Amino acid sequence: MPGSLVGGRVLNNLSEAAVHPPAIRTEHLSKRYGSLLALDDLDLTVDAGEVFGFLGPNGAGKSTTIRLLLGLARPTAGQAWIFGTAAADVATAHQRLAYVPADVTLWPQLTGAEILELLGATGPGVDVAYRDELVDRFALDLSKPGRAYSTGNRQKVALIAAFATRAPLLVLDEPTAGLDPLMEREFRRAVNEARDTGSTVFLSSHQLAEVEAVCDRVGILRAGRLVEVATIPELRRLHRTEVLVRFAGPVPELTGVAGIDGVQVDGAALRFTLTGPPGPALRALAGADLTTLTMREPTLEEIFLDYYGEGSR
Ligand SMILES: Nc1ncnc2c1ncn2[C@@H]1O[C@H](COP(=O)(O)OP(=O)(O)OP(=O)(O)O)[C@@H](O)[C@H]1O
């Protein structure tokens, strides 16, 4: 390794970053449309090999970010890199990525088969055997002209074309919005296969179950600002857990105990929300005569509602 020849940990790390740059890196990336700051100072790194979910309510700035990453829009400030290449250097950056837009448009006169051929010939390469396998798995009829495909089938054509490139980076904007549950399952399989072969997947989504099923990490965007980046278990730890306790004897007084919120007494049952470490609550309960203790982790939906809440965009 060139780094180890000259020695020194710092130099090794530098050469590592140069040889294996992150799949996506942004620094102070911002986009303004008139008075609207659609994306505000985004600093994000997605490592090669990660499946990263980009979440946010309508209008949060997800598609704007994707357009900036693809060089389809110019940042107002900041910069983005794809595997170390400036996103603005489209000819180089796009040799290593495949993209599926939220609204797939196909050439109306070409058949599905012709469209896949064309996309294969103009993209970053194609694994024909894998493409044929995906056509079967997504149950896509390739004989129809583009104009005759439904929204979901147009999406399938674009997804198959993207996965079949085996590109090092797949950028997918709302990839399953038009797919039925069976096809969603195939989509998840294909994402896992992409990860298994070392590809990076960056997907924007509103579908929390999908994000939970396939993503290693998620970024949460709200009104143009990145408000969290975490793994899903980390997100759960950051958020409240609902606790239900039933007692055989008297119900202890928990109001004022650290890390507890929303205490409700209902006969011999006590409900509360754990907002911090469970130690103080458990100590407060230790002397009581408990019959059951149930803890429920927040669903991803509850976590996102916490972030989106009032005033979100
Ligand atoms: N070309 C444009 N001109 C003016 N405003 C724009 C333009 N593109 C996007 N916007 C605005 O920027 C904000 C972010 O839009 P963007 O499409 O990035 O959101 P999104 O998170 O992808 O939303 P959705 O989930 O609905 O797709 C929105 O308020 C949108 O109206």
Q: Which two tokens stand for residue 46?
A: 């997605």
Nearest to 119 by CA among 105, 136, 133: 105
Structure tokens at 81: 């890199």
The burial of 10, by beta-carbon neighbours within 10 Å (0-12 exposed, 13-18 middle, 19 or more buried), is given as exposed
CA of 141 to the centre of ligand 1 (A): 33
Ligand 1 atom with the shortest distance to the CA of 31: 12
65 and 54 Cβ atoms separated by less than 8 Å:
yes
CA torsion sign for 154, 74, 70, 91 is: positive
CA angle 133, 156, 173 (to 5 degrees): 125
Q: Whose CA is nearest to atom 31 of ligand 1?
A: 59
Question: pLDDT at position 138, please?
Answer: 96
Q: Which residues contact 151 (CB under 8 A, 6 or more apart)?
A: 104, 178
Q: Using a 6 Å CB cutoff, which residues line ligand 1?
A: 33, 36, 38, 56, 58-64
In SS3 terms, 148-169 reads as: HCCHHHHHHHHHHHHHHCCCCE
Please name the residue whose Cα sits nearest to atom 18 of ligand 1.
61
CATH of domain 240-297: 3.30.70
Residue 134 C-alpha to ligand 1 middle, in angstroms?
Answer: 32
- Measured in angstroms, how far is the CA atom of residue 63 from the centroid of ligand 1? 7
Predicted local distance difference test score (pLDDT) of residue 15: 59
CB atoms within 10 A of CB 305: 12
Can you tell me whether residue 294 is helix, strand or coil? strand
Question: Alpha-carbon distance 2 to 64, whole Å?
Answer: 39
Residue nearest to atom 9 of ligand 1 (CA): 64
The predicted pLDDT at position 13 comes to 56
**Cβ contacts of 203 within 8 Å, gap of 6 or more:** 51, 52, 53, 54, 170, 171, 172, 173, 175, 191, 211, 214, 215
Nearest CA residue ID for atom 4, ligand 1: 33
Give yes or no for a contact between 101 and 158, defined as CB atoms under 8 angstroms apart: yes
Task: Give average pLDDT by consecutive 10-residue segment, the chain, 313 residues.
Answer: 43 62 97 96 97 93 96 96 96 94 92 92 88 96 93 95 96 92 94 96 89 92 94 80 91 88 91 87 90 86 76 48
Give the domain ranges of the chain: 22-235, 240-297
State the burial class of residue 248 (Cβ atoms within 10 Å of its Cβ: 0-12, 13-18, 19+). exposed
Mutate to test the pocket of ligand 1, among 35, 37, 62, 173 (most ligand atoms within 8 A of CB): 62
The whole-number pLDDT of residue 8 equals 45
In this structure, the residue with its CA closest to atom 25 of ligand 1 is 58
Answer yes or no: are the C-beta atoms of 260 and 282 closer than 8 Å.
Answer: no
Give the atom of ligand 1 at the shortest distance from the alpha carbon of 39.
Answer: 14
Do 179 and 156 meet the contact criterion of CB atoms below 8 Å apart? yes
Q: How far is the centre of ligand 1, averaged over its atoms, from the C-alpha of 36 (Å)?
A: 10
8 Å CB contact between 244 and 277: no
Ligand 1, atom 29, residue with closest C-alpha: 59
Determine the distance separating the centroid of ligand 1 and the alpha carbon of 170, expressed in angstroms: 21
CATH class of this structure's domain 22-235: alpha beta
Assign residue 41 a region: left if phi > 0, alpha if psi is -120 to 50, beta otherwise? left
Strand intervals (E) in 208-278 = 217-222, 225-230, 241-247, 260-266, 269-274
